[in-house]
Amino acid sequence: MRTYPSSATHPPCPLWGRILPVLALLMFSGQILALEARTGEQIYRQQCASCHGAKGEGSEEYQRPLTGDRSLAQLVRFIAKSMPKNSEKKCTGEEAQKVAVYIYEAFYSKAAQARNKPPRIELSRLTVRQYRQAAADLIGTFRGSSGRMTLPAAASQGLKGEYFKSRRLWRQEERVRERIDPVVQFDFGVAGPEPDKFDPDQFSIRWSGSVLAPETGEYEFLVRTEHAARLWLNDSKRPLIDAWVKSGNDTEHRATIFLLGGRVYPLRLEFSKAKQGVDDSKDKKKKKPAVKASIALEWKQPHRTPETIPQRCLFPLSAPESFVLSTPFPPDDRSIGYERGTSISRAWEQATTDAAIEIADYVVRHLTELSGVREDAGDRPAKLRDFCRRFAERAFRRPLTDEQKRLYVDRLFANARDVETAVKRSLLFVLQSPYFLYREIGGGRDGYDVASRLSFTLWDSLPDAELLQAAASGQL
């Protein structure tokens, strides 16, 4: 008979004892698999981040960020040889490859740096030069000209000279000669322009046309003569130099004016030789000493020496008046070699406010001329409202939206006590608007933005009518 061992002699094996080796094997295998499956990011965070920062930005111990120009292969070799620093166990083999790929793609390479810190889009305001040019062109468009007069290809240069045999310049029947004088620099002596046609003691001359300012800055104009003279420049009503009534022995008369370079300005010079305040026509037997007559028109350009205004800067055609802003502005940033409108200061804010007031005052003083609306017109309020709309569109370099029209025009006319006040308020709001002071607001890419970029690149001012027409028709 078969007998079985006693349980007291051979106790049964518990279940956990059987599976314990299996669990140990699985845990050890999992650790191996986890170690093998670690990503480059995990390796970096465990072994590198404490020194170099979570995103390679550096730390107190290692302040230099993990950026550079090594290739991926060079980075792998560097990590395998040197990292972690001060550790006997280096990151080698496949781990070095993984962490190098992570570092390179996350923050080391140029592409990663550009992705992590994308270029900042900054608003660019008008530079001082652009503001002055834009203000002149903005007003000039309502005169039919921007001050950049188009001359015929074969245009003669100089000033139109009209010679009169008396002091009465307004009487055309006393005009003896008309011609183009290359420059104004004459010494008539005691005989006059032509002894057989002029009384050497009594004649007058009027020169008219335009003068081109080669550069922007302060110009000093000088009239040299022993007799009466007046000079008008860019203002047909108020002479820049008025020596029509002689007193004393002065022969030099000076005045300074600020001009924008590249523009032509209307000019008129009147000269007269006569016996002022004395009628000695009945006492012709007494021989009077002959008095010579001469006249010269000179200027001193910015940073130059005085000279006779050269023929190349004179034209017989008369240009419209140009608005020239006199408000001083703080200088623009030129730290990288050219002017940039990137800095905004309290001084610049104040200058734009003062400039807006100066422009608005000028427009209101010349409102009838610029708007084309008579003061006694029955529909004057409606026409001036339309004038303000067109002014805003030209200042903003694009048509107004309905909301802009309400904000910059309609509400200001609705609340003003008279139309002149409404016009001035509208102009001030427009000239202080970011749509005028800054370039391409909103980052759009339509035809009007293209027109503005072209115009400010080519001539530092507003788009002309041709560019705006191209934008409106979709050609840009």
**β-strand pairing of 203-213 with 263-273:** antiparallel
**CATH number of 160's domain:** 2.60.120.1560
Answer yes or no: do 305 and 356 share one domain. no
* Residue pLDDT, tens place only, 165-221: 877 777 777 888 899 999 999 998 887 787 777 777 888 999 999 999 999 999 999
457 is in which domain, residue-wise? 346-472
* Residue 68: band (very low, low, confident or very high) from pLDDT cuts 50, 70, 90: confident
Q: Distance between CA atoms of 450 and 458, rounded to whole angstroms?
A: 12
Q: Looking at the structure, tell me whether residues 303 and 423 fall in a common domain.
A: no
Mean pLDDT of 126-148: 87
The answer to whether position 284 is within a domain reads no
Residues 303 and 203 in one domain: yes
- Of 96, 116, 136, the residue that ends a domain is 116
In this predicted model, what pLDDT tens digit does every residue of 105-136 receive, in sequence order? 888 888 888 888 877 666 788 999 999 999 99
Look at residue 34 in the predicted model and tell me its pLDDT. Answer: 47
CA distance 224 to 306: 12
pLDDT tens column, 215-242: 999 999 999 999 999 999 999 899 999 9
The answer to whether residue 21 is domain-embedded is: no
Strand-pairing partners, residue 298, are: 222, 308
Q: What is the pLDDT of residue 44?
A: 82
Domain contains 139: no
The gap from C-alpha 403 to its chain's centroid, in whole angstroms, comes to 26
* pLDDT tens profile 309-368: 999 999 999 899 999 999 999 988 887 787 888 788 899 999 999 999 999 999 999 999
CA–CA dist 108, 105 (Å, integer): 7
Decide if 143 is inside a domain.
no
Whose tokens are 């072994």? That residue is 47
Candidates 299, 293, 341; CA nearest to 134 is: 341
Same domain, yes or no: 256 and 356:
no
Residues 355 and 308 in one domain: no
298 and 357 belong to one structural domain:
no
Tokens linked to 141: 């468009």
Tokens read off for 412: 């200001």
Same domain, 352 and 302: no
Own/partner pairs for 273-277, CB < 8 Å, 24+ apart? 273/188, 273/192, 273/201, 273/202, 273/203, 273/204, 273/227, 273/228, 274/167, 274/201, 274/202, 274/204, 274/227, 274/228, 275/201, 275/202, 276/228, 276/245, 276/246
Positive or negative: CA dihedral 386, 388, 391, 396: negative
Q: Of the candidates 138, 132, 327, 306, which has an alpha carbon nearest to the alpha carbon of residue 216?
A: 132
| Residues 165 and 301 both lie in one domain | yes
Note the pLDDT of residue 254: 94
- Domain contains 263: yes
Per DSSP, the residues of 327-387 read ---PPPB-TTSS-B-----HHHHHHHHHHHHHHHHHHHHTHHHHH---TT-TTHHHHHHHH
The reply to whether 423 falls in a domain is yes
C-alpha 56/C-alpha 83 separation (Å) is: 14
Coil, strand, or helix at residue 472?
A: helix
pLDDT-based confidence at residue 85 (cuts at 50, 70, 90): confident
**CATH code of the domain in which 76 resides:** 1.10.760.10
pLDDT band for position 266 (cuts 50, 70, 90): very high
Domain count of the fold of the chain: 3
pLDDT of residue 145: 66
Structure tokens at 111: 């592409």
* 169: amino acid identity, one letter: L
Residue 9 scores a pLDDT above 50? no
Contact 306, 298 (CB under 8 A): yes
175, 301: one domain? yes
Are 297 and 208 within 8 A, CB to CB?
A: no
Using a pLDDT cut of 70, give the percent of the chain over it. Answer: 84
Same-domain pairing of 104 and 158: no
Asked if residue 398 is part of any domain, the answer here is: yes
Query: What is the model's pLDDT at position 196?
Result: 75
pLDDT at 75: 83
In a domain, 82, yes or no: yes
Per-residue pLDDT, 242: 93
Pick from 101, 116, 131: which residue ends a domain? Answer: 116
Regarding whether 381 and 293 lie in a shared domain, the answer is no
Compute the mean pLDDT over every residue in the chain, rounded to the nearest whole number: 83
For residues 259 and 177, state if they share a domain.
yes
Q: What is the pLDDT of residues 276-317, one digit of tens each?
A: 545 555 555 555 666 888 999 999 999 999 999 999 999 999
